[in-house]
Structure 1
Amino acid sequence: MPTQCVPALDGQVALPDRHLLAYEDVFATGRCELLMGDVIALADRDPALLPRLDRLVDGVCADLRAAAEETGRRVPLADCVPTQGDPTEPNIADPLCWLDFEFAGHNTAVGEAVNLLWYSMTLGGWFVPDCQPDVYGRTLHLALPPQTRPRIDVRYSWNTGPGRGAAITQALNGLRGEGGTAMEEIHDFLALRILGVIPAARLNGHASCSC
């Protein structure tokens, strides 16, 4: 990343098994004001903040593209860092400054971009504040209540044989019970079983799915 977009290195301490690096506190020095997650939350509430958010996101994308173009090369996946560099909204300050270098290194460029999108869409907007409120509270300055409420729609069709189709239909009718109220949420859980990405126990009343 461009050196002007990262905290200054204040010093380092050599330990027997590692080097400990100390970076500038960009908030204490007044260089930055908020984290990207805070700017997103404010823009959710006040459209006047959208230009500020646009500038920040444009800068993030420009840095990711520049890093890929300047240093990117094809290498075996085993040579990449097994965990991501974490380009997510709690680790990006405004004005643009990249934070948290614990897992920086040979990361997959597309993987980093996907992490940014997935966190912005789902984890930062819903899953972390709802299911990990302690993490949300300590990683953002404002930690405003999220405005995101996900709805997962799954559309698919199966060309089953007459016997298998009849068995599935009969099972669905039987599990629902008389009037369709005994297991009315079966479609929600079926969608989760198909997707297999979020444990049902972590969901709450704000989340809804349709299948």
Structure 2
Amino acid sequence: MLFNKALLTSAILVGGLGFSVASYAAPITLNPSDFTGGTVTDDFGDTADINFTWSVSGDMRKWSGGYSGEDAFYCGTNATAECFFNLEPLGGALLTLISFDLGNYLNRNPSVPWSIFDLNDLDNAVLTGTAEILATSPFSVTANVTSSTGFQVRFGPDGWNNGLTSLTYTINDRQTGSVPAPGALELLGLGLLGFAAKLRRRVSAKAGSA
């Protein structure tokens, strides 16, 4: 009976490790429809874990509908503006930029260059591409990139007639999101099983001498 208990304890401990490291935050979506007003205020999108900012020539504004059928954030004062959106994780968290969508106001199905930069290196893009935006629906960019410093999303040069219709990300704490090295888990498992085998030998020896 003691052997069975030891094996059960080993299984629980090893299994518990597997469950404890599989902790993921739910995706968060920044949506222009959640903002009421015209000129976007500095506190929009900010949380205890994230700082959302933008760099534009002029204010960042919201337009209700019309950008490929969606609400959108657009920037600048004319068609030469390029939009810069920044997501910066706070308190040592890890940011994963999942995706963002771009819409067009003039419904011309334009091709819009976009790029993603790590905030630690604004000279070399992590990802680049071209959004082929439709008149009836936004163009979705799938990123799935992770950083401890954050990301800058750029699109343009026409950030006036093209706008951001949504941006989705997750925030994970570094410690709860860390996964032990496979070798460490194997050593722990072998150690626990060895401990159980030792208890079994003790029980067998005790039964033989009885």
Q: TM-score range by the shorter chain?
A: under 0.3
Which of the pair has more CA radius of gyration? 2
**TM-score, normalisation: structure 1:** 0.19
Higher normalized contact order (CA 8 Å, seq sep 6+, divided by chain length): 2
- Which structure dedicates a bigger proportion of its chain to helix? 1
